[in-house]
Amino acid sequence: MPDKTTQPSMDQFIETLAPLHIYPLWKQEGLLIRRPTTEAVPYLWPYGPVRERLMEAGRLISAEEAERRVLILKNPGLNGKPAATARLYAGLQLVLPHEIAPAHYHSASAIRFVVEGSGAFTAVDGERLIMQPGDLVLTPAWSVHDHGNETDTPMIWLDGLDLPLVNGLECSFFQPLDTKAQKLTRSDDESERQYAYGQLRPSWVNWTKNYSPLAKYPWNATERILLDALKDGVAGSPTDGILFEYSNPITGGSVLPTMACYAQLLPPKFHSDAHRHTTSAVYHVVRGSGTTIMDGQRIEWNERDTFALPGWAVHEHINNASEPAMLFSFTDDPALKALGFYQEQSENKQG
Ligand code: 1HN
């Protein structure tokens, strides 16, 4: 038996550890957590007031001066961190007529979902992608990209990046180019003509990159697929309705290694089952209006609003209208799935 009189107390013992930067595991809190917890909260950014501030920013600073004229959608639970969920960044970007946003590249991956305007472009690795509302544009990790608007109308899109994840992993690199606009090496929308229809693959290309070779997913094709499924009366998924994933035409998998994108149609009078998954998501309302209940909180959404679904939050979607509703979303599914951290659970309805 140890001699209690000469034995130091536990508190005294722990005090002696600090100078050595060691600590007893049996006293450590918050290390092994029973289930996912997040500081992020369910939250909606209504389009009207955000758009108003974005246009005001347009009067205060040029796209070139700002490099990117963006209002970041900051989740109010994340203490000012530039993130919509713990692992996803979102922002709304404005490019006014005859502006450019200069070329750069980074190790973070990005997606753009066009909200308004018509005909401005993003150039990605030598290819200009001419953008229309609802188009999805990829700027994968390390790809050189710049934006330009040679039209007479403002262009606004939603940016989605994996930056909180990349920064959390301490793997961020960023490099501006010496020239403002990159050299174009391909025809405008070339990848769309080669890949967007999904039935044929250019035989001369040996695509080995870990992201989709299709840089732009045009809305007209996406919308047709959603509406045809509705017309066909497909049931879709009980938790998500008619949900399609934007896919890499080479692998059939996600468009980017860290983020997946989805187009979703909620049929009229649809009330989904509730579920939760470890992945977090940012939703953007393309058409219609409805309600998403997240951890018991009802979020009412309308066209062009954006909302955040924190990881592991129980959620269900409701469309009470007589018209279909359409949602775009991006998530961190592929990152979590690659690491074996994807978990899903069905739950009882909350409302
Ligand atoms: C970025 O490169 C863009 O290229 C937009 O439009 C937003 C936010 C953080 C880091 C890089 C863009 C960004 C970004």
Is residue 68 lining ligand 1, measured as CB closer than 6 Å?
yes
Query: What is the reported pLDDT for 38?
Result: 95
Closest C-alpha to 247, from 217, 272, 292 = 217
Residue 298 lies in a domain: yes
Q: What is the pTM of this model?
A: 0.96
Best probe residue, ligand 1, of 109, 149, 161, 171 (max atoms within 8 Å of C-beta)? 161
Query: What is the reported pLDDT for 84?
Result: 98
Cα atoms in the 13 Å half-sphere on the side-chain side of 340: 0
Residue 267 lies in a domain: yes
Average pLDDT, the chain: 96
- In tens, the pLDDT along 254-267 reads 999 999 999 999 99
Residue 25 lies in a domain: no
- In tens, the pLDDT along 48-91 reads 999 999 999 999 999 999 999 999 999 999 999 999 999 999 99
CATH number, residue 236: 2.60.120.10
Instruction: Tell me how crowded residue 200 is: count the other CB atoms within 10 A of its CB.
Output: 9
Query: What is the reported pLDDT for 350?
Result: 77
Best probe residue, ligand 1, of 54, 67, 69, 70 (max atoms within 8 Å of C-beta)? 70
- Quote the number of domains for the chain: 1
Query: What is the reported pLDDT for 3?
Result: 58
Give the atom of ligand 1 at the shortest distance from the alpha carbon of 146.
4
Is residue 91 lining ligand 1, measured as CB closer than 6 Å?
yes
Domain interval for residue 266: 43-190+207-347
pLDDT band at 349 (very low <50, low <70, confident <90, very high): confident
Task: Tell whether the model's pLDDT for residue 118 goes beyond 60.
Answer: yes
Is residue 287 lining ligand 1, measured as CB closer than 6 Å?
no
Average pLDDT over residues 216-235: 97
Closest C-alpha to 282, from 129, 135, 146, 111 = 111
Which protein residue's CA is at the shortest distance from atom 3 of ligand 1?
68
Task: Tell whether the model's pLDDT for residue 1 goes beyond 60.
Answer: no
Three-state SS letters, 271-327: ECCEEEECCCEEEEEEECCEEEEECCEEEEECCCCEEEECCCCCEEEEECCCCCEEE
Query: What is the reported pLDDT for 264?
Result: 98
Query: What is the reported pLDDT for 60?
Result: 98
Residue 110 lies in a domain: yes
Q: How far is the CA of 141 from the centre of ligand 1 (A)?
A: 11
Task: Tell whether the model's pLDDT for residue 22 goes beyond 60.
Answer: yes
Residue 30 lies in a domain: no
- In tens, the pLDDT along 284-298 reads 999 999 999 999 999
Query: What is the reported pLDDT for 259?
Result: 98
**3-class secondary structure, 146:** strand
Residue 27 lies in a domain: no
Cα 248 to Cα 260: distance, rounded to the nearest angstrom: 10
Query: What is the reported pLDDT for 144?
Result: 97
- In tens, the pLDDT along 43-53 reads 999 999 999 99
Is residue 112 lining ligand 1, measured as CB closer than 6 Å?
no
Cα 65 to Cα 35: distance, rounded to the nearest angstrom: 44
Residue 231 lies in a domain: yes
Q: What share of the chain is helix, strand, coil (3-state, %, to 5)?
A: 20, 30, 50
Residue 239 lies in a domain: yes
